């Protein structure tokens, strides 16, 4: 029997509003992408309409459009290379480490650049995204150059991935940066840092959805309210 999908929008909404409440006027804020981040951008927009004065740096064209429509002032990393905080969603959060898989929505390159440029990365999720080990529920989206993508896929397979070109060969998904995505299934990942360095060393890989050591705090929408996962000591 097919697994029944439970609508958790109200839980994600609570986490998104909680994160938006942390912002103060004067902050430079990275704006994430995906359905949960979209709720956060809406909550930030509502605060801006009430007088919150922040500048946002969007992680995708879709987020830029939403933010503009809400009257959120936007800038680029060219204007502000370092941001105070980024609020974004995730496909998986490893509970013990706060390591993430991101990129289900295809924006991992810009998301990682913006997250890396931020003093704090706040992640908003519902409980369905929590895992003991990365790779349990979601593939790792690996963004690759279009040129020679089959060779890059072959290299990913050599390190143990089952790869799938997002969208399929007849209609491949193209990222905001003009690249393809190979959704790469490794199964539960025991040595995430090792896999990260393997992925980083493959020519043709532009970026990938492992976000390790970047997360400052996770807000989880639960039926009992918003729970927080402890910040890592060094972020
Ligand atoms: C977008 O590329 C992603 O990194 C999203 O943050 C992630 O896929 C979570 O998306 P949802 O909030 O839509 O589940």
Strands 28-31, 83-88: pairing kind = parallel
- What is residue 169's three-state secondary structure? coil
User: What residues are labeled active site?
Assistant: 111
**Per-residue pLDDT tens for 212-230?**
999 999 999 999 999 999 7
Hey, how many other C-beta atoms are within 10 angstroms of the C-beta on 5?
Answer: 7
129 Cα: distance to centroid of ligand 1 (angstroms): 10
Ligand 1 centre distance from Cα of residue 212 (Å): 16
Q: What is the mean pLDDT of residues 48-69?
A: 98
On the CB side of 154, CA atoms within 13 Å amount to 4
- pLDDT tens, position by position, 71-123: 999 999 999 999 999 999 999 999 999 999 999 999 999 999 999 999 999 99
Q: Which pLDDT score is estimated for 235? A: 46
Compute the distance from residue 51 Cα to the ligand 1 centre, in Å.
28
Query: What is d(CA 40, CA 46) in angstroms, rounded to the nearest whole number?
Result: 10
Do residues 144 and 209 make contact, with C-beta atoms less than 8 angstroms apart? no
Confidence (pLDDT) at 227 = 97
pLDDT of 5 > 90? The answer is no
Return the pLDDT at 3.
56
Question: Does the pLDDT of residue 125 top 80, yes or no?
Answer: yes
Q: Is 181 helix (H, G, I), strand (E, B) or coil?
A: strand
Burial of residue 201, with CB atoms counted within 10 A of its CB: 0-12 exposed, 13-18 middle, 19 or more buried: exposed
Give the pLDDT band of residue 4 (cuts 50, 70, 90). low
What residue owns the CA closest to ligand 1's atom 3?
A: 103
Mean pLDDT of the chain: 95
Give the position, in ligand 1's atom list, of the atom nearest the Cα of 124: 12
């Amino acid at each position: 029997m097919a697994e029944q999908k439970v609508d958790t929008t109200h839980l994600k909404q609570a986490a998104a509003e909680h994160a938006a409440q942390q912002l103060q006027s004067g902050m430079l804020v990275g704006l994430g992408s995906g359905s949960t981040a979209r709720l956060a951008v809406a909550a930030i927009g509502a605060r801006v309409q009430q007088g919150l004065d922040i500048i946002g740096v969007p992680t995708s064209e879709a987020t830029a459009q939403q933010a503009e429509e809400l009257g959120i002032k936007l800038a680029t990393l060219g204007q502000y290379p370092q941001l105070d905080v980024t609020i974004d969603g995730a496909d998986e959060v490893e509970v013990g480490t706060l390591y993430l898989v991101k990129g289900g929505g295809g924006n991992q390159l810009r998301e990682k650049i913006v997250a890396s440029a931020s003093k704090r990365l706040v992640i908003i999720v519902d409980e369905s995204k929590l895992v003991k080990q990365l790779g349990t529920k979601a593939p790792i989206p690996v963004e690759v150059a279009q040129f020679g993508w089959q060779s890059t896929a072959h290299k990913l397979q050599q390190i143990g991935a089952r790869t799938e070109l997002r969208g399929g060969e007849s209609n491949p998904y193209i990222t905001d940066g003009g690249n393809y995505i190979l959704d790469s299934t490794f199964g539960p990942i025991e040595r995430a840092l090792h896999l990260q360095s393997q992925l980083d060393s493959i020519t043709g890989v532009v970026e990938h959805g492992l976000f390790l050591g970047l997360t400052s705090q996770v807000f989880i929408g639960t039926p009992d309210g918003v729970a927080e996962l402890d910040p890592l000591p060094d972020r």
